[in-house]
Structure 1
Amino acid sequence: MRLKPYGHCLGSLIVHIVFVTKYRHPVITTEVEARLQSMMSKLCQTQKCTLLECKADLGSNDHIHLLVEMAPDIALSRLVNILKTITSREIRKEYREFLKPYYWKPVFWKRGYGFVSSGGASLDVLKRYIENQGYED
């Protein structure tokens, strides 16, 4: 885990995020995946975040996993809203004919999303570390 400086603080906020296509339609092809990766990387940069990894499940073609290093002053919900809104609009515009059989309304992503914070140590290790503060090792 690498710590980055942010003004008067030092830290690392890494989040694993999952977006699912509306109705779980299998519409994330390798071409759509590449376009999503490009867009999401640029959008993360505009929010002072770094897209570390972005990969679709090309078996089911209905969801994508992101690993994002977030700045401490950016809310996860705001970042997700930006990513989903803009990528949905652009993908629907660029792949209009391909998506026509799947979506008749202006949608691409399912409303919700999944997320898990990630870091270098397991929760058990962190709990033990905190519990043992003030005691000699």
Structure 2
Amino acid sequence: MSPRWEPDPDVRRGNHVIYHLHAHLVFVTKYRREIFNDEMLTRCEAIMRDVCQSFEAELREFNGEGDHVHLLVHYPPKVALSKLVNSLKGVSSRYLRAEYTGRINQIGTGSVFWSPSYFAGSCGGAPLSIVKDYIENQKRPA
């Protein structure tokens, strides 16, 4: 690293890579049913934290409302985001359906907990305009 750079604990390193990847994920319950209460959200966070750990990722933030959850995940480049999402939704669905059967059956989502769709947005780092300017202003050899 250049001596002019301050070490940043959020910038992670591998053998051949230096990375700083964050994704904002949003998962919605099937039919946007108001399933979650505080206890279920707390349990959902613990489950998703464990899943992230198994992918060598870190769940930085988690919160939600009755019908959806938001996650901020710091993940390594070797992880395909779609595989992480699939695991997060699949594992959490199995555990939550098993542990809160009465509540989930009463609300009526059928055999599916999450909607099949999700939101994923990259975040963190410099704004795109600054990155574009930085790339544009590189000193290209003549």
TM-score, structure 1 normalization: 0.91
SS of the aligned residue for 1:99 comes to helix
Larger Rg belongs to: 2
- In percent, how many aligned pairs have the same letter? 39
Aligned match of 1:62: 67
TM-score (norm 2): 0.88
Q: Name the count of aligned residue pairs.
A: 132
Q: How does 1:76-115 map to 2 (within 5 A)?
A: 76-103=81-108, 105-115=110-120
Amino acid aligned to 1:17? L
Give SS of 2:73's match: strand
1:43 aligns with 2:51: yes
| Unaligned stretches of 5+ residues in structure 1 | none
CA distance in structure 2 between the partners assigned to 1:4 and 1:41 by the alignment: 18
Q: Deviations over 1:46-105 (max 9, x none)?
A: 011110011103xxx111000000111010000000000010011011000011122252
Give the alignment partner of residue 23 of structure 2, picking from 15, 18, 34.
15
**How far apart are 1:123 and its partner, in Å?**
1.0
Q: Is the 8 A contact 2:30 2:112 kept in 1?
A: yes
RMSD of aligned residue pairs (Cα, Å):
1.3
Tell me how far apart the structure 1 counterparts of residues 43 and 89 of structure 2 sit (CA, whole Å). Answer: 13
Is 1:26 the counterpart of 2:31? The answer is: no
